[in-house]
């Protein structure tokens, strides 16, 4: 497994090894002892699957508040996405900053996003399937986030307001300036 630190400490890109032959390939996409050896210690309790039929489907930017805050390990099984993590930890030197990574079935990379970040993605192809593990179950009461295209974030989305396929819920999320963050930065990367 390859590990790459992204521009905000704690957000990491993982690329599992693929073993290929004439049948296709095999890959351990998650191996707890190997992840721990890399210094990553999360207890995942739920796994989610998201399918988006259309290119430029935007999901996010979502964040669950404590005590249901979620760290996520995200991987694309079919298609491709531009995946985004935005730091929402009050007092963080990276507050309001984002990191982006292209995840695809071809590059086989995963992004690890700690709690305290908003997460979202935009599909780059039709028929995109995303699987992600989370460290807390879904809680509608603790569900929230920030507006995907808030100009203050400066995210270079591949979709525009005219082309993005969004849920009504995601259209109504607040801008960062109007978001009362329940997360705080404790001086640690994660």
Q: What is the DSSP string of 56-108?
A: TBEEEEEEEPTTS---EEEEEEESEEEEEEEE--BT-TTTT-EEEEEEETTT-
What residues are annotated to the active site? 62, 132
Half-sphere exposure of 65 (CA within 13 A, CB side): 11
Distance of CA 146 to the CA centre of its chain: 14
CA gap 30, 40 in Å, rounded:
12
> Which residues, in sequence order, are CB contacts of 140 under 8 Å at separation 6+?
none
Burial classification of residue 162, based on how many CB atoms lie within 10 Å of its CB (0-12 exposed, 13-18 middle, 19 or more buried): exposed
Three-class SS of residue 37?
helix
Specify the DSSP class assigned to residue 22: T
Q: Beta strands 24-27 and 46-52: pairing type?
A: unpaired
């Amino acid at each position: 497994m390859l590990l790459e630190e992204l521009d905000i400490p704690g957000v990491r890109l993982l690329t599992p090894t693929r073993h290929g032959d004439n049948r296709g390939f095999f890959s351990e996409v998650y191996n707890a002892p190997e992840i721990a050896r890399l210094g990553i210690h999360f207890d995942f309790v739920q796994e989610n699957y998201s399918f988006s039929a259309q290119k430029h489907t935007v999901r996010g930017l979502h964040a669950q508040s404590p005590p249901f805050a979620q760290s996520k390990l995200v991987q694309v099984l079919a298609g491709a996405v531009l995946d985004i993590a935005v730091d929402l930890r009050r007092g963080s030197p990276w507050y309001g900053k984002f990191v982006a990574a292209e995840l695809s079935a071809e590059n086989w990379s995963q992004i690890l996003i700690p709690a305290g970040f908003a997460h979202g993605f935009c599909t780059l192809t039709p028929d995109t399937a995303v699987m992600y593990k989370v460290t807390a179950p879904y809680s509608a009461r603790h569900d929230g986030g920030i507006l995907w295209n808030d100009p203050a974030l400066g995210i270079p989305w591949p979709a525009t307001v005219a082309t993005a396929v969004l849920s009504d819920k995601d259209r109504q999320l607040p801008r960062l300036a109007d978001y009362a963050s329940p997360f705080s930065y404790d001086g640690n990367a994660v």
